[in-house]
Amino acid sequence: MESKKDCDPGAMLDVLYGEADALTERNLRSHQEGCASCRAEFAALRGVRRSLGAWTLPARLQPRLERRPAWRPLLAAAAGLLLALGASLGLSGSELGFRNGTLAFRLGRGQDLERLLAAQEDRHRREMEELRAALLHPAAQPVGSDREEVLRAVRRLVDDSQRRQSRVLETRLADFQQQAEAQRRYDLAQVGASLSYLEGKTGLEMAKTTELMGHVIQASQKR
């Protein structure tokens, strides 16, 4: 009679799932010869595994192709339009929300963008102050060059701002493109799976039809 302390659930699982080496399997078998509770346990676990095998996936998880209703392309176009709108709002860092019972729309989202805009605002304010000071004290500026100086400063500001905006836009566009590419590839693979399922199904139906035709021909020849 084997003692209960020799029972090894780990070895039992290894044998149950076919992962045990020959020695472990031999040891377990020889232990089970003298250990009724281990034998019962092993048989019960095997029974549970058999029951688990009955649980199959639902049909709706199988790949399938559905008939497309006529409004589907329109819906797809509308969804595309909304996606594009959403993407452009997202790219511009905008935010749409419901606050205090009203719909609120705010340009600028995310700490990075806010920090960037705050820094830009500071810089503009500083430059405006400098310009204002220069206008208030014209003596400090070389005569005749005021207007050009201001124009140059404004042009510089505009250029800087454009450069910053396009940098932010490029980064966001790159993210968006990567996500869209991944989505496209996943969708393509899904369509591929559905097509091969359909091909398989059509092949099966063809075979059935051919078989049926064979029977009909044979029957008519017998007559």
Residues contributing to the site for another protein (CB under 8 A): 9-10, 12-14, 17, 19, 32-34, 36, 39-40, 42-49, 51-52, 54-61, 63, 178-179, 181-183, 185-186, 188-190, 192-193
Half-sphere CA count of 195, side-chain side, radius 13 A: 6
User: Which of 39/164 has CB closer to another protein?
Assistant: 39
CB 164 within 8 A of CB 116: yes
Other CB atoms within 10 A of residue 51 CB = 8
Q: Whole-angstrom Cα distance, residue 126 to residue 135?
A: 14
**Ramachandran area for residue 28 (φ above 0: left; ψ -120 to 50: alpha; else beta):** alpha
Least gap, CB of 141 to another protein (angstroms):
54
Least gap, CB of 195 to another protein (angstroms):
11
Least gap, CB of 20 to another protein (angstroms):
11
Two structure tokens written together for 106: 């705010």
DSSP E strand boundaries for 130-175 = none
User: Which of 164/172 has CB closer to another protein?
Assistant: 172
Least gap, CB of 179 to another protein (angstroms):
7
User: Which of 57/136 has CB closer to another protein?
Assistant: 57
